[in-house]
Structures are given as structure tokens and as C-alpha cells.
Structure 1
Amino acid sequence: MRRHVVLWIALAVTSVVLSAAAAFETRASRLQAIKTVGIVSAIGEEMSLTQAGLTALGNTGQSASISAWGLDEMIVQQATRLLSPRFRVQAVSYRRAAFAAIRDSAVAPVNLLRSDPFKELVRSDVTPQGLDAYIVITRARSKLGNGRNVEGVGLAEYRTLLADYGLIHALYEVRVIDGKSFDVIEKRAAAPLDNTGTLRLAGPSGPVDETFGGSASGERLRAAIADLITRSLPITLGDMHLTDSP
């Protein structure tokens, strides 16, 4: 009986490994077949302001418009530069607000069985149609401290009885959506750049600098957020095998 159980487990493990290998091979071949891409970015119109911790449990999140920062335009330009050596990148038109309105992250494990909400949006809202693939860059979520969600671009403060900790963050995820079938070929959330701080998020973030409080705080904050994106995007696209890894 024991031998049969061991054999069954071995066969099950082998099946899982073979299925994973086949899926990887299929994904790799589909990526290899891509020649033309369009880039959609919708993370940078709004900044969240979040407080959490022992002394801020009742506070609600706030937001502020940062559309003047032009973060999405910067992301499209950087992604175009990174992808151009391998793909022919074509400019596309889309309703940024429609993509930004989707808050649910399909990268999260709880959502893996759901239909990705961006598939139909790419089919209906992006022009021109008919490219081999569309690279869609949107907000991602992470939990802060006591479990409160933060997402996209923002400032987060976590308070304890003894100290306050502040973070800036630029949380985003990247999808490669097939331009014919609109299947999601690949998707990945940008990983942390540095996970050594006291307060950590599952994505690009950094400590709040005291210079953000000065008269030039808006420009300093914009530059710091842009730096998080500029440093993390090459890594994320490289990890997705869309570019040569940096």
C-alpha cells in the first residue's frame, strides 16, 4: 500500500513538473513570436495618502491628483526605449481613466481563477487593433503594516507608540496581452528594489526623505517617485523576458 502511495505521489509530481514546463515553453514561444507591440500605462494620475498603525487605525485613505507630473507619459517613453531593440513599438490610443478605474489586481493569488479584467478593455478601448501584443502597465497593491492596502503611487505613514515610519511607493504590474486572442501571455508585479528597511511593501518603495517637507516638496516627491519607476521598470521587463536582463 505504501509503495502505491509513493508511486502515486511521484506520478503526480511528475505531471505537475511536465505541465509547468509545457506552460513555460508555450509562453516562451508566444513571446518569441511577438514582433509589434503597443504600450498602455495607467498608474500615475492619482497619488494615495495612507496612514496606518496603532495610532491611525481609524483614519481613512486620501488621494491627490498628480496628473501634471506626467508619470504615464514617462513610463511609455521608458518602456518604448527598453523594448525597441527587440520589438517594433507602435503608439496606441486608449482611455487612461478606464484602465485606472480597474482596482482589482489579477496578479494576486486570490484572483488567479478570475478572468483578467484588462482583456476586454484592450479589445474595446485600444487603437489601433491588430498588433501582436499590448504591454499594459497598471497599479498594483500591497499590504502595509496592520493589513491596510496601499496601491499605485503614494505616500504611506505607519505609526507606532514609539516611532513613525514613512514610505513613498510606486506599485505597478505589467501584463503582456495577445493582440489577436487577447489572452494574457505573461504578467508580473514589480518587485521591491530594497527590502532592508523597517517598513516594507511588496513593490518599489523607499523611505520618506525629510527634504520632502520643504517648499520644493512636490518636485522632490515627483523626482523620487520617478526614480523608483525608472530603476524598477528595466528589472521587471527583464524578468518577464521582454528585454535583456539588466
Structure 2
Amino acid sequence: MRRSVILWIGLAIACVALSAAAAFETRATKLQAIKTVGIVSAIGEEMSLTQAGLTGLGNTGQSVSISAWGLDELIVQQTTKLLSGRFRVQAVSYRRAAFAAIRDSAVAPVNLLRSDPFKELVRSDVAPQGLDAYIVITRARSKLGNGRNVEGVGLAQYRTLLADYGLIHALYEVRVIEGKSFDVIEKRAAAPLDNTGTLRLAGPSGPVDATFDGPASNERLRAAIGDLITRSLPVTLGDMHLIDGQ
């Protein structure tokens, strides 16, 4: 009986491994077939301001407009530069607000069985149609220290009885959506750049001074967020095998 159970477990593991290998091969084949791509970015129109911790800070999240920062333009520019060695990148038009309005991340495990919400949006809102694939970059979500959710671009202030901490974040996820069937070929959330700080998020983030006066107009904050994006994009696109040599 024990031997039969072991054989059954071994067979199940082998089936899972073969299924994963087949899925990887299919994904790799689809990626190899892509020649032309369009890039959609919708993460940078607003910044969240989050206060959390143990000393009774306000629990109501706030946000400020940072549309003047041009973060989505920066993302499209940097992504185009990174992908142009392998793909022919074509400019596309889209309603950024429509993509930004989708707050529920399809990368999260709870949503894996749902239809990806961005598929139909690419079909209906992006022009021109007919490219081999569309690279869609949108906000991702993570939990801050005490369990509060933060997403996209933001500044988090976390206070304990002994100290204050500040953390900036640029959380995003990347999808490769096939241009004919609109199936999601690949999707991945950007990984942390450095997880050695006191506060940690499951995405690009970094420590800053906990106090800022007028964050939307602070050039130092803008530069720091831009740096997170610029440093994390090559890593994320490389992990997705979208950059030659990765």
C-alpha cells in the first residue's frame, strides 16, 4: 500500500512537471512569434499617501495628483528603449484613465480563475489594433507592515513608539497580451529591488525621510520614484524573457 502511494505521488509530480514544461514551451513559442508591440502604461497619475503604525495615525488613505511628473511617459520611453533591440515598438493611443480605473490585480492568487480584466480593454480601447502583442503596465498592490494595502506610486509613513519610517514605492505589474486572441501570454509583478530595510513591500520600494512637505511638488521625491522605475524595469522585463540575453 505504501509503495502504491509513493508511486502515485511520483506520478502526480511528474504530471505537474510535464504540464509546467508544456506551458513554458507554449509561452516561449508565443513570445518568439512576436515582432511588433505597443506599450500601454497607466500607473503614474496619482500618488497615495499612507499613514500606518502603532500610535493611532489616521487610517484614511489620501492621494495627490502627480500627472505633471509624466511617470507613464517615462515608463513608455524606458520600456521602448529596452524592448527595441528585439521588437519593433509602435506608438499606440489609449484611454489611460480606463486602464487606471481597474484596481483589482489579476496577478493576485484570488483572481487567477477570473478572466483578466485588461484583455477586453486592450481589444476595445487601444489603437491601432493588429499588432502582434501589447505590453500593458499597471498598478500592483502589496501589504505594508501592519497589513494595510498600498498600491502603485506612493509614500508611506509608518510610526512606532520609538521611531518614524518613510517608504516610497512604485508597485506595478506587466502583462504581455497577444494582439489577435487577446490572451495573456505572460504577466509578472515587479519584484523588490532591495528588501533589507525596516519596512518591506513585495515590489520596488525604498526608504526616505518620513516627513515631506508638499510631496507632489517635491523634486527629490519625483527623482526617487523615477529611479525605482528605471532600475526595476530591466529586471522585470528580463525575468519575463522580453529582453535579449535574459
Q: TM-score, length-normalised on structure 2?
A: 0.96
Inter-partner Cα distance in structure 2 for 1:16 and 1:156: 40
C-alpha separation between the residues in 2 aligned to 1:215 and 1:128?
36
**Secondary structure at 1:232 match in 2:** helix
Q: TM-score, structure 1 length as denominator?
A: 0.96
Partner of 2:205: 205
Shift, 1:216, TM fit: 10
Corresponding residue SS for 2:188: strand
What does residue 28 of structure 2 align with?
A: 28
Work out whether 1:128 is the aligned partner of 2:123: no
- Spell out the pairing of 1:47-196 with structure 2 (5 A cutoff): 47-56=47-56, 58-196=58-196
2:220 maps to: 220
The offset of 1:217, in angstroms, is 6.0
Deviation string, structure 1 residues 74-109 (Cα, Å, up to 9, x no partner) = 110110010001000000000000000000011111
Which runs of 5 or more structure 1 residues have no equivalent in the other structure? Answer: none
Question: Contact between 2:165 and 2:210, CA under 8 Å: does it hold in 1?
Answer: no
Q: Quick check: 1:212–1:220 contact (8 Å CA) kept in 2?
A: no
**In percent, how many aligned pairs have the same letter?**
89
Quote how far apart the aligned CAs of 1:215 are.
Answer: 10
Aligned length: 246
Aligned residues of 1:83 and 1:242 also touching (Cα < 8 A): yes
Decide whether aligned partners of structure 1 residues 4 and 141 sit closer, same or farther in structure 2, where only a CA change above 3 A counts: same
Secondary structure of 1:47's partner? strand
Q: For 1:1-47, what per-residue CA distance to the aligned partner results, in whole angstroms no more than 9, with x for missing partners?
A: 11111111111000000000000000000000000000000000000
Does 2:237 correspond to 1:234? Answer: no
Alpha-carbon contact 1:235-1:245 (below 8 Å) kept: no
Alignment partner of 1:94: what SS? coil
Change (3 A) 1:194 1:27: same
Write the deviation string for residues 196-235 of structure 1: whole angstroms up to 9, x where unpaired. Answer: 0011010000011479559996111111100000000011
Q: Could you tell me how far 1:54 is from its partner in structure 2?
A: 1.1
Using the alignment, how far apart are the partners of 1:26 and 1:216 within structure 2? 44
The answer to whether the Cα contact below 8 Å between 1:234 and 1:245 also exists between their aligned partners in 2 is no
Conserved 8 A contact 1:191-1:203: yes
RMSD of the TM alignment (CA)?
1.7
- Whether the 8 Å CA contact 2:166–2:211 is kept in 1: the answer is no
Change (3 A) 1:163 1:117: same
Q: Could you list the runs of 5+ residues in structure 2 that have no partner in the other structure? A: none
Q: Give 1:60 deviation, angstroms.
A: 0.7
Deviation at 1:173, TM superposition (A): 0.3
- Runs of 4+ aligned residues of structure 1 deviating over 4 Å after TM superposition are 210-217
